Amino acid sequence: MRLTMPDRKPREGFEPLCELVFRPAAHVVARPLMPLRVPPPAVVLAATATGAAAAVEIGRHAFLAAALLLQLKTVLDNADGQLARMSGRITAFGRYLDSESDLLVDAAVFAALGLWIGPWLALAGFALLTTVLSLNFNVERLKRAAPATPPDRSRAARIYALVYGPQDRLAETLAPRPSSRTVVVAANFGLSTQLAALGVCLALGHPRAYIGVVAICLAVLVVLVTIDRGNT
């Protein structure tokens, strides 16, 4: 089995769990959808609905069901991008929809977690995850010297800029010249891996433990970014 698919999004970092587990599973989903001309945004919406269902299951204290739904959400989340690349239907709208849908699902999941671990701890966890994912995206982008967003005046682009713009600017300030080491480590803290870790904590009946996991991820990134700044 190849470690990467021909429809892989080019990135400097390598997220083993995503590349070895979720992307091959997503390829199985995306390939039969291509001749059916299923639009990639439809897969994004399916992933969003699956993530919302996971949040509902968390609210019902059905943690194992929620854990499984989160992994299915990850498979669908990877499948929409693969489908877009295989079919040549990559659009800025699709990227914005994907990112904004992920944020909504994350917010719903942590809101549901707040019922069991307390609202303030859940809010802290959501803030930690959002920061880790922002650094995950931005250190790789800054390493490539790519713009945060292409010029676009669509509604989806304006929403994206409103939500993610401050995070992008903060990352540019904190990590203007990330090292390859930082990019590689940050790649291992992507959303696929985060939801897998949350799924394990849920399946074990200890969702509170995930807050510690994501806090460690952020601490590692802060140390690496600080080292990078000292070397510039």
Which residues have C-beta within 8 Å of that of residue 104, sequence separation ≥ 6? 48
> What residues make up the domain containing 57?
16-231
Residue 4 within a domain: no
User: Following CA atoms 62, 27, 196, 14 in sequence, which dihedral angle do they give, to the nearest 10 degrees?
Assistant: -170
Residue 209 within a domain: yes
Residue 11 within a domain: no
Residue 215 within a domain: yes
What b/e sequence results for 95-134 when a residue is b if at least 16 CB atoms lie within 10 Å of its CB, and e otherwise?
bbbbbbbbbebbebbbbbbbeebeeebbebbbebbbbbbb
Report pLDDT for 57.
98
**Could you report the average pLDDT of every consecutive run of 10 residues in the chain (232 residues)?**
44 79 94 90 96 98 98 96 85 82 96 98 96 90 69 67 76 82 92 97 98 97 90 73
Residue 10 within a domain: no
Residue 2 within a domain: no
Report pLDDT for 32.
92
Report pLDDT for 127.
93
Q: Are 81 and 213 in contact (CB under 8 A)?
A: no
Give 37: exposed, middle or buried? Use CB within 10 Å, 0-12, 13-18, 19+: exposed
Residue 49 within a domain: yes
Report pLDDT for 153.
63
The residue among 14, 64, 157, 169 whose CA lies nearest residue 4 is: 14
Report pLDDT for 24.
94
Report pLDDT for 31.
92
Q: How long, in residues, is the chain?
A: 232
**Overall domain count for the chain:** 1
Residue 158 within a domain: yes
Report pLDDT for 91.
80
CATH (domain of 47) = 1.20.120.1760
What does the DSSP 8-state code read for residue 61? T
